[in-house]
Structure formats: structure tokens, C-alpha cells
Amino acid sequence: MELTITAKIKINPTVEQAKQLQETTNAYRKACHFVSAIVFKEKEMAQTKLHKQTYTHLRSAYGLRSQMAQSVLKTVISKYKTNKSNGHEWSQVQFKKPQYDLVWNRDYSLVKGLFSVNTLQGRIKVPFETKAMEQYFDGTWSFGTAKLVNKHGKWFLHIPMSKDVPQVAETMVNQVVGIDFGINFLAASYDSQGKTCFFNGRPVKQKRATYKHLRKQLQQKQTPAARRRLKEIGQRENRWMQDINHCISKALVTQYKENTLFVIEDLTGIRTATEKVRLKNRYQTVSWAFYDLRQKLEYKALMNHSKVIAVDPNYTSQTCPKCGHVEKANRNKKNHIFCCKTCRYRSNDDRIGAMNLHRNGIEYIVAVTKEA
């Protein structure tokens, strides 16, 4: 199976090189805006036709090199196709920030420990930092189309890196771990040794509430400074939550080692359930970053020779893991307590969900083994 991740590599250009990169990204952004206006007006997204209309102008007006002009077309078309697939109405895509998409071995390459990057003025060779990224430069990873990013005066290359990773066979699995995702506990795991591990979500809820209150105050001001501040804290909250999910997924994969089958709930479409949630609690559900946590767990598990499967979430917190009795009244959602109406087994409701997911994993292994 091909595993693809995005590595964020910091590059260290000189003052003169940084100036060249800035000029290139500015020209690339303006060129994208020019092509975007044509795509919006004519509703044309065929690269061949756009090439005939725009190539000469892109080269002469913006000073782009041949490959840069082609990359501009691909960047703009990709943006429009993404909006269309996400169900957005047809509107002109704006390119407000300087950017530059670089094709591997054409716009950038790795030469003698330096990144060789194409600019309007020609090639420049830029040193880079490999701190915590050494594993991606061992020759086993292939590089894709990178994005050049300038944040707070620092330059980064966001590089998609791919590698063929063997999937763990079900016959090689030596441990099954059920993981229940939630809000009060971001994750609750139950393993084959009967041990449970909780990742507390209450500090996250409290910080989310702080961000929500701050956003409400800024939205009421309706000033340019308040709008800038709103954008800043939105990005900060997103980075913070991604870091939380990185830590949780890494902790799970590290704790349970190789040849582990992680069983999680398939929460696709869970957003529609927000209509049933009380208004004051709705933001907690809407801002729940469960899919980001799932993605991070999946690729980290694959890198660690483990596997993640997603199963039907129905009744996982209403089914008694001891006697199998299913009843809505078994679970007290307010107090987060599960108590079986038949056998009286009692535990935390998130732990119960993890236990039932663990059982689903065992059944999955048995079924696959029989088929084999």
C-alpha cells in the first residue's frame, strides 16, 4: 500500500535568495489570479484549452518559466475542481497569498544536500533543516509536487512524500485494541489484556469554550483589527488541535507496538447528528476533530506495521459487553455511566464502547481467518 504524508521542511535562503523567492511567489500568485478570472468567466477547466489562451501571456507578462506556467494552470484548475467536489457554488477563486507549486525534478530537486529551487532569475541552491525529518531522506521515499510557503519571514517546503509500505496481514495480528472517540474523553482504548487507557478531553472542551467566547466578542466589534484577530486565533486553534491529535495517535501507536489491529468507529456523516444536539452544546460537536485524529492514527499505524479498521458505530455504547443485552436505557449519557438492565454490569460508557469495538475486532479476525 502506498503511504503519502506531507513533510514540512524549513529552508534557509540567504537575503538575496529570499528576495528571489518572494518575487517568484508574488508573480506566481498574480498569474494564478489572471487564469482564475478566465476560468470563472468562461467556465473552462480543460488544461489544453487554457494553455492555448494563456501560455504566451503568462510567459511575457509575469516572466514565468515554461514549467511555472504549466503549474499555474494545474493549481487554478485544482482549486476549482476542489470547490466543485465540495458542493460550493460557482464563484471566482481568489489567490490572496503568495504561493508557488513546484514539480519534483523540474522546479526543485535535491543536489548534494541542498534543495535546488527554480526562480524567475534561475536556479538557486538552498540549505535546509532535517531536524526530526531524517527518515524521509533515506532514499526510500519519493517526492511529489511541493508548495513553497513563507510564514513570519521563514521559508518552508511542504513536500508530499510517498512510500510503499506492506500492510500487516490479519494472521500476523497479535493484539486487538478497540478505540472509542469522544468529547469528554478524546479517546478511550481497550486492549486484549483487558486494560483501558483514557485521553482526557475536558481541557480541550474548556479551551474550545475560551476560543468560542473570544470569537463572539471579536465578531461583535466588527472592526478590521477584530477581523484580523479572528483569523489569527482560528489558525492558532486549528494548529493546537492538530498537535493534540498528533500526540494522541502517536501515544496509541507507541503504546501498542507492531502487529496491532486498531478498531475504531466509522463516524462518516456524524455532522448531521448536530441537529439533535442542544444549541449550547452544538459547537462542541461541530468542532470535534475526530476525522483528523482518525487520519493521523491510520498513517502512523501503517508506518508502525499495524492496521486500522472502521466499523459500524451503532449500539456500541448501548450493548453490554458481558451479556450482549442491547437497550438505550443501559447508558446514562448525562453521567457517562453504563449499567446493563439485565446483568447489572456497570462501567464508564466510553470504556464500554471501546470494549465492544474490541469484540468487533476479534470477530473480524475470526471471519477473515475462516475465509482464508
In which element (H, E) is residue 337 found?
strand 337-339
What is the tens place of the pLDDT at every residue in 152-179?
889 999 999 999 988 888 889 999 999 9
Find the length of the chain.
372
Cell of 91: 464563484
Query: If we measure between CA atoms, which residue out of 342, 318, 341 comes closest to residue 331?
Result: 318
274 or 201, higher pLDDT: 201
Residue 181 CA from chain centroid, whole number: 16
- Give DSSP secondary structure letters for 114-135: EEEEEETTEEEEE-B--TTTGG
pLDDT at res. 96: 87
What is the tens place of the pLDDT at every residue in 329-354?
999 988 889 999 999 999 999 999 99
Name residue, grid cell 455511566: 337
Pair 41, 60: CB distance under 8 Å? no
Give the chain's mean pLDDT.
90
Indicate the residue type of 11. I
> What are φ and ψ of residue 29, in 5° steps?
-65, -45
Show the beta-strand stretches assigned E in the chain.
Answer: 2-11, 100-102, 108-111, 114-119, 122-126, 142-143, 146-151, 154-164, 175-181, 185-190, 196-200, 260-265, 307-311, 331-332, 337-339, 346-348
The residues with which 2 forms a beta bridge, in sequence order, are: 164
pLDDT at res. 329: 93
Residue 297 to residue 264: CA distance in whole angstroms? 10
Indicate the residue type of 340. C
Residue 53 to residue 38: CA distance in whole angstroms? 9
pTM beyond 0.85: the answer is no
What is the tens place of the pLDDT at every residue in 69-78?
999 999 999 9
The residue-averaged pLDDT of 280-302 equals: 79
